[in-house]
Structure 1
Amino acid sequence: MSTSSFHMFQSAFVFLLLLLLMSTSMQTISAATTNNGCIKTYKKFIKSACNSTTYPKICYKALSPSAPAIKTDPYKLCNISLSLTLNATYKASSYIESLSKMKGLSPSEKQIIGDCAETTDVAIDELQQSLKALASLQGSDYKAGEMSDIQTWVSAALTDEYTCTDGIEGQKVRKAVKNTINKNVLYLARLTSNCLALFKLLD
């Protein structure tokens, strides 16, 4: 092969390689653009759903990271919302348990922490029951009845959570105890309230 032919072959090879790289790059950009468009659609769906709740900002902040999994599926939205609520209940329970190990607790503080731990544990059981029922909801012939059971359990969990925070009011409780309970349980109660509101999408 002559030198000029070799250079022509080399130039053609480089040109084809550049075309291939450009094509791959364009496909990547196109895929990314499409994916970003989908994510925006999913997040718009979540925001619209959250606007029907009592605490829409908390709702959207909690659920928007799961947009790729939720897509625009109301069932998945409710399932993930309930799962996040249950997870928050476990965390709140753990924080309350840590309070019981504080030194120098007064008898009234011990009573409040114990009552709060008990009601939070009950809320965990109720949310577990609702999550289990929700898992078997799709395709059920008894959707209305099962949906009613789920809402009853979640509503009961919400009542238990507020029972915990209401028990502090008017009591002589050190600031650290009160702040820890209020911060965790009130946030949990708001997640639970939002979760209950979102179930209306499945009615």
Structure 2
Amino acid sequence: MSSSSFQLVFIFCFSILLLLIMPTSMQTVSAATTNKASAKTYKKFIKSACNSTTYPKVCYKALSPSASAIKTDTNKLCNIALSFTLNATYNASSSIDSLSKMKGLSPSEKEIIHDCAETTGEAIDELAKSLKTLANLQGSDHKADEINDLKTWVSAVLTDEYTCTDEFDGQKVSKAVKNTINKSVLYLAQLTSNCLALFRLLDY
């Protein structure tokens, strides 16, 4: 085969290869662009929803990592917000329980820790019950009543959380105990308050 013939064959083969590769490459770029646009849309949806809450920054930080799961679904948004709050309550409960193992606690500190552990446990029960109800909401024939139940239970959680810190009044409590409880309860109260606000967005 002459040199010129070889070049023609090479050019022909290379052209065919380009034709095969280009559509795939274009599809990949197109898919990446679409995914990026979708992610932006999902995060915009979450940001808009969080702006209706009392603590929008806390809300967005908690929910934005789950944007691809939430998409633009209000029910999923509330579900994940509630799940996140429940998980945070478990963590707070663990932190409060660890305080009971501290040495040198006064009788009043022991009582406060015990009561806070108890109210946190009640909060976990209320949130778990709320999460189950929310998960079954779409198939329910009594959506309005169940949403009211959700709000009642989550409001009770908020009351439980503040009851815990109210016990500090008039009591001599160490900085370590007070800071741990205050930090946990404040964060939970913000998450819980946000859940209540997000429930108003449920389209039922």
Q: Could you tell me the TM-score, scaled by structure 2's length?
A: 0.93
Deviations 1:58-114 (CA, angstroms, capped at 9, x unpaired): 111111111111111111111111100100000000111111111111111111111
Pick closer, same or farther for the CA change 1:197–1:2 going to 2, 3 Å. Answer: same
Q: Cα RMSD (Å) of the superposition?
A: 1.5
Deviations 1:1-31 (CA, angstroms, capped at 9, x unpaired): 5443333222222233234334333222211
Q: Which runs of no fewer than 5 residues in structure 2 stay unpaired?
A: none
Q: Which runs of no fewer than 5 residues in structure 1 stay unpaired?
A: none
Letter of the 1:181 counterpart? I
Q: How many residues align?
A: 203
Written as runs of structure 1 = structure 2, the 5 A alignment for 1:51-200 is 51-200=51-200
Q: Distance in 1 between matches of 2:176 and 2:16?
A: 69
CA contact under 8 A between 1:155 and 1:196: conserved in structure 2? yes
CA contact under 8 A between 1:109 and 1:173: conserved in structure 2? yes
Q: Distance in 2 between matches of 1:135 and 1:102?
A: 39
Aligned-pair identity in percent equals 75
Letter of the 1:91 counterpart? N
Which 4+ residue blocks in structure 1 deviate beyond 4 angstroms?
Answer: none
Q: Distance in 1 between matches of 2:6 and 2:170?
A: 91
Letter of the 2:190 counterpart? R
Letter of the 2:50 counterpart? C
Q: Distance in 1 between matches of 2:169 and 2:35?
A: 49
Deviations 1:152-203 (CA, angstroms, capped at 9, x unpaired): 1111111101111222244211111111111112101110110011111125
Pick closer, same or farther for the CA change 1:101–1:18 going to 2, 3 Å. Answer: same
Letter of the 2:165 counterpart? T
